[in-house]
């Protein structure tokens, strides 16, 4: 599994020379994960040639699996329906399902129609499970045993399987009704005496998940109990499939990306390599929401236009209150959102966490507010501006801490994504609160300010 | 592995009743990962009792492993040196190393001194590896084979091991110099004919990592090649240890948390359950940096005090330019930082990505700037304010996109954490740029504004 540093340039030259044999040998020596990045630099025709070469090596499907899904449409565009169906049908059902979703709608039925009947039937079944559910990430091939077998018979079963699938780590013991009775780690099987009964070897009542469970929840279970795979069973305990740890790693990575993206008001398919026009289209709706909230903040400032006319210096310190409040809010938001995602909230409680963030905001507001007020007094020499700045920072940062905690906890309580839009809500709130408190307090102190 | 819903309350009642037998049976039925959260609600004395009960079941170490490390000092505080050493010496070296770091300095040597000599020696060796390196997350126990063995002999070797460690998934083939020659997936061993030579069964030249490799890099390799474990070898190819996929999941989760935290200017040990005074101490330095940068923005506004005196309405729209610029900058920053972490930048390039963010910023600025200018004109009726707002939004958002991309790419290029402080740098820049461009352009248009 050596990973030669082969640049797209070398591959292009080999393809252009027409002697495809060398390009083929080059690709054969590389791991699928190392071939995938090369595709992004190729033209439509070159992609088609590479896919053909890989198809002959029966490795095209594995290379496609290693691509960020957002890149798939470009690749699919270079391959005809027949070839695409030929490549895709080699995939496990979970990967097939994901890829089919990235085929442009107008071609989808043509490609799916060319899949073998069995694959198509499985695909139709998998499509019934909800988005991001266990049913969609599970693979349906697994090794099943009978509890009355001996360990030698189990080993023979394994040997009889045509594929040498190294990802098989557990064997599943099922009864006549296909109900999951237990699980045998392959390592146990190896060490067991040949005549030992599977019934005595298996771990009974293993952890399992339902097909409609959210993939994030499945990932948490696997990470929590340090599993290598988790079986998926229906309500009657019948074994449906398996979710393996490599899929779980993908889910964990995906969910972390989703949280980060949602905090920033981004949608998941707006990636580094997405074309600019896609990025604009994806970001525009949230930016318009953000514009509306910015005008809300502007409107609050407008309420105090008369005060600002009297003391223009107030405009100078508006960014300080808003900036510090926004930052404090984002910090609380990040701690709570990540705490929810990691299940850390179990080690505290929502209420305790929110009160803590409130307290932290209060103290931080008092500390940084004192420094800010001092600096403001030194620069403009008006004690009342300093006073307003200090008071506004204390209340704004306390409110920012509370909101930063409360918004994701509330979103979670009503079963929404705790991160989705939370950043915009929290910073809008802190801006509005900052301007209202700072300019409001300043207005109340107006007599002193103008004195 | 059933997970009964046992609340801290029931456990406390059982402990208080003095009949520890029932509490012990209760704990025996629970998975370590489910016991861990209960500890956070207990008093010092109760924690000591639970650790004693778990110690008798030889499960205390496994429960400690499931705690967020930031909670360890509280737990350690309840246990004496002797008992703590007794618990810790059961851990794999990577876990031991991490836990020892959380023992308060004044007790550390006393506890470490009570560890068995072998464990102490290993610990001293592991401590020589850099922070967050492969050498610190690897475990040093693994099954090694000789290439001249038959597969039956290999199975016998495995059987002879006292532990029934189900995490053994690969066997490592090493020569007389302890150099790694190949790896045998346990699943291959099971299916192989008994007389088959290990030499013919093994995957030669497997992917391996060096002990000083960064743990994030190791996690990327495991995720990229869908491995279940990766061997760690020294410069001469000698086998030192193994990093397993469950540790890799922890690393991936940890690194994602680190990125999110660093973007928000938080330090990793400031968690949901951290006490408020710790949170304040951890956040204060960054908040003071942020205060300094906020004053920089204030200073820029101050430069235009005369303009603001003439047209107070400008103060109203300052938050719009700054808010939109800040948001755009954070979006670009998030896409690029996450793209770097996931290796997606491989599918594009730094320059291409930065130019794209610049273009996206430009277009978004033009689109939202048009809306903003229209709204501003409708509310204040001064065309020049609208013009200044439009132009400022175009240049600010373009600059925000460029900076959001350039800052993490630059930090990475100079081998710093791409996320660390990037949020503060980018938003400071966008604030300064927003105020400077908006008020600057407005000043140039002053004749029209006052007209």
* CATH number reported for the structural domain that contains residue A410 in this entry: 1.10.357.20
Please provide the size of chain A in residues. Answer: 451
CB B272 to CB A345 under 8 A?
yes
User: How many Å lie between the alpha carbon of B443 and the closest alpha carbon of chain A?
Assistant: 15
Looking at beta carbons, which pairs linking B445-451 to residues 24 or more positions away fall under 8 Å? Answer: B445/B384, B445/B387, B445/B388, B446/B307, B446/B310, B446/B311, B448/B383, B448/B384, B449/B310, B449/B311, B449/B382, B449/B384, B449/B385, B449/B388, B450/B310, B450/B311
Strands B144-145 and B170-174: parallel
Reported as a pLDDT band with limits 50, 70 and 90, residue B3 is: very low
| Model confidence pLDDT, tens digit, residues A46-86 | 888 888 888 888 888 889 888 888 888 888 988 899 989 98
3-state percent helix, strand, coil for chain A, nearest multiple of 5: 65, 10, 25
Kindly state whether residue A268 falls inside one of the protein's structural domains.
no
pLDDT tier, B162 (very low <50, low <70, confident <90, very high otherwise): low
Domain assignment of residue A138, yes or no: no
- Please indicate, yes or no, whether residues B113 and B148 belong to a single structural domain of this protein: no
CB B42 within 8 A of CB B50: yes
For residue A108, pLDDT over 60 is answered with yes
Question: Testing the interface with B: which of A218, A279, A370, A422 to mutate, by most B Cβ within 10 A?
Answer: A279
Q: Which of A165, A257, A364 sits opposite B284 (nearest CB)?
A: A364
Q: Specify the pLDDT at position A315.
A: 93
- For the cut 60, the answer to whether the pLDDT of residue A398 exceeds it is yes
Contact assessment for residue B375 and residue B389, using Cβ atoms and an 8 Å cutoff: no
Q: Do residues A155 and A85 share a domain?
A: no
For residues A180-209, give the mean pLDDT. Answer: 90
A312/A376 same-domain check = yes
Residues A40 and A163 placed together within one structural domain of the fold: no
Mean pLDDT of A312-322: 93
Same domain, A119 and A76: yes
pLDDT attached to residue A58: 84
CB < 8 Å to A308, chain B: 312, 315
At B269 the pLDDT is 84
Is residue B360, in this structure, part of any structural domain at all?
Answer: yes
Number of domains, chain B: 3
Q: Which residue has the higher pLDDT, B394 or B47?
A: B394
Contact B360, B293 (CB under 8 A): no
Domain C-terminal end among B71, B103, B128: B128
Query: What is the rounded CA–CA span in Å between residue A70 and residue B344?
Result: 11
DSSP B253-272: HHHHHHHHHHHTT--TT--T
Same domain, B428 and B352: yes
| pTM, rounded to two decimals | 0.85
Return the biggest CA–CA distance within chain B: 98
Residues of A in contact with B248 (CB under 8 A): 249
Strands (E) in A97-139, as ranges, are: none
Q: Tokens 């300052």 belong to which residue? A: B318
Looking at the structure, tell me whether residues B377 and B414 fall in a common domain.
yes
Which residues have C-beta within 8 Å of that of residue A360, sequence separation ≥ 6? Answer: A332, A401, B276, B279, B280, B283
Q: In this structure, is residue B1 part of a structural domain?
A: no
Does B188 sit within 8 Å of A190, measured CB to CB? no
How far is it, in rounded angstroms, from Cα A315 to Cα A319? 8
Asked if B368's CB is within 8 angstroms of A191's CB, the reply is no
Q: Is B223 found in the same domain as B148?
A: yes
Helix (H, G, I), strand (E, B) or coil at B433: helix
Residue numbers of B between 81 and 140 with CB closer than 8 Å to A: none
Q: Is the dihedral of CA B430, A430, A396, B275 positive or negative?
A: negative
* Whether residue B304 sits in one domain with residue B421: yes
Mean pLDDT of A199-220: 92
All residues at 6 or more sequence positions from A208 whose CB lies less than 8 Å from its CB, including other chains = A180, A230, A231, A232, A233, A237
> Cα Rg for chain A, rounded, in angstroms?
30
A371-389 residue pLDDT tens: 999 999 998 888 889 999 9
Is residue A406 domain-resident?
A: yes
Asked whether residue B193 falls in the same domain as residue B283, the answer is: no
Q: How far apart are CA B116 and CA B101, in angstroms?
A: 18
Alpha helix positions (H), A174-312 = 186-191, 198-201, 215-224, 245-263, 276-303, 305-310
Q: Bridge-partner residues for A233, per DSSP?
A: A239
User: What tokens does B281 get?
Assistant: 């101490």
Q: What is the CATH number of the domain that holds B99?
A: 1.25.60.10
Residue A24 near residue A51, CB atoms below 8 Å: no
Q: What is the C-alpha to C-alpha distance for residues B15 and B46, in angstroms, rounded to an integer?
A: 7
Which pLDDT belongs to residue A2? Answer: 36
Please give the residue range of the domain that contains residue A191.
144-244
Joined tokens for residue B81: 């040196």
> Is A226 in Cβ contact with B246 (below 8 Å)?
yes
Which residue of B264, B293, B346 is the best one to mutate when testing the A interface, meaning the one whose CB has the most A CBs within 10 A? B264
- To test the contact with chain B by mutation, choose from A298, A346, A379, A409 the residue with the greatest count of B C-beta atoms within 10 A, namely A298
The pLDDT score that the predictor gives to residue A163 is 64
Q: Are B115 and B148 in the same domain?
A: no
Does B220 lie at the interface with A, CB-CB under 8 angstroms?
no
Mark whether A439 and A362 lie in a shared domain.
yes
CATH number at residue B223: 3.10.580.10
Find chain B residues with C-beta within 8 A of A151's C-beta. none
How do residues B420-448 score in pLDDT, each as one tens digit? 878 888 988 999 999 999 999 999 987 65
The answer to whether position B270 is within a domain reads no
Reply yes or no on whether the pLDDT at B180 is more than 90. Answer: yes
Tokens of B203: 């995957």
ipTM: 0.85
| Nearest by CB: A272 against B322, B353, B379 | B353
Q: What would the mean pLDDT of A428-442 be, rounded to a whole number? A: 93
């Amino acid at each position: 599994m050596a990973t030669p540093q082969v640049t797209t340039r070398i591959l292009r030259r080999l393809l252009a020379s027409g002697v495809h044999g060398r390009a083929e040998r080059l690709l054969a020596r590389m791991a699928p994960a190392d071939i995938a990045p090369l595709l992004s630099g190729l033209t439509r025709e070159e992609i088609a040639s590479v896919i053909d070469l890989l198809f002959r090596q029966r490795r095209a499907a594995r290379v496609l699996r290693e691509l960020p899904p957002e890149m798939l449409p470009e690749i699919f565009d270079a391959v005809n329906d027949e070839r695409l169906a030929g490549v895709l049908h080699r995939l496990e059902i979970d990967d097939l399902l994901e890829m089919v979703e990235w085929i442009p709608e107008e071609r989808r039925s043509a490609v799916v129609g060319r899949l073998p009947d069995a694959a198509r039937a499985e695909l139709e079944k998998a499509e019934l499970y909800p988005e991001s559910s266990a049913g969609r990430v599970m693979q349906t091939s697994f090794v099943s045993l009978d509890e009355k077998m001996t360990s030698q018979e189990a080993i023979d079963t394994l040997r009889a399987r045509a594929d040498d699938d190294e990802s098989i780590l557990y064997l599943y013991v099922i009864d006549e009704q296909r109900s999951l009775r237990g699980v045998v780690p392959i390592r146990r099987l190896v060490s067991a005496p040949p005549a030992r009964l599977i019934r005595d070897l298996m771990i009974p009542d293993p952890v399992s998940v339902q097909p409609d469970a959210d993939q994030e929840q499945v990932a948490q279970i696997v990470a929590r109990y340090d599993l290598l795979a988790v079986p998926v069973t229906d309500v009657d305990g019948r074994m449906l499939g398996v979710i393996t740890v490599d899929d779980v790693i993908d889910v964990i990575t995906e969910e972390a990306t989703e949280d980060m993206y949602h905090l920033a008001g981004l949608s998941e398919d707006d990636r580094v390599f997405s074309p600019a026009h896609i990025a604009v289209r994806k970001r525009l709706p949230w930016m318009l929401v953000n514009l509306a909230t910015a005008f809300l903040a502007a409107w609050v400032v407008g309420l105090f236009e008369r005060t600002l006319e009297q003391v223009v210096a107030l405009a100078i310190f508006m960014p300080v209150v808003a900036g510090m409040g926004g930052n404090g809010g984002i910090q609380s938001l990040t701690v709570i959102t990540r705490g929810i995602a990691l299940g850390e909230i179990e080690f505290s409680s929502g209420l305790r966490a929110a009160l803590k963030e409130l307290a932290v905001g209060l103290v931080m507001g008092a500390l940084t507010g004192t420094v800010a007020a001092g600096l403001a007094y030194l620069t403009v020499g008006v004690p009342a501006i300093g006073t307003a700045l200090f008071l506004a920072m204390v209340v704004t940062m306390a409110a920012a801490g509370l909101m930063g905690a409360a918004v994701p906890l509330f979103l979670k309580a009503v079963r929404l994504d705790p991160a989705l839009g939370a950043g915009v809500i929290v910073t809008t709130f802190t801006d509005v609160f900052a301007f209202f408190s700072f300019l409001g307090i300043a207005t109340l102190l107006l007599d002193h300010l103008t004195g």
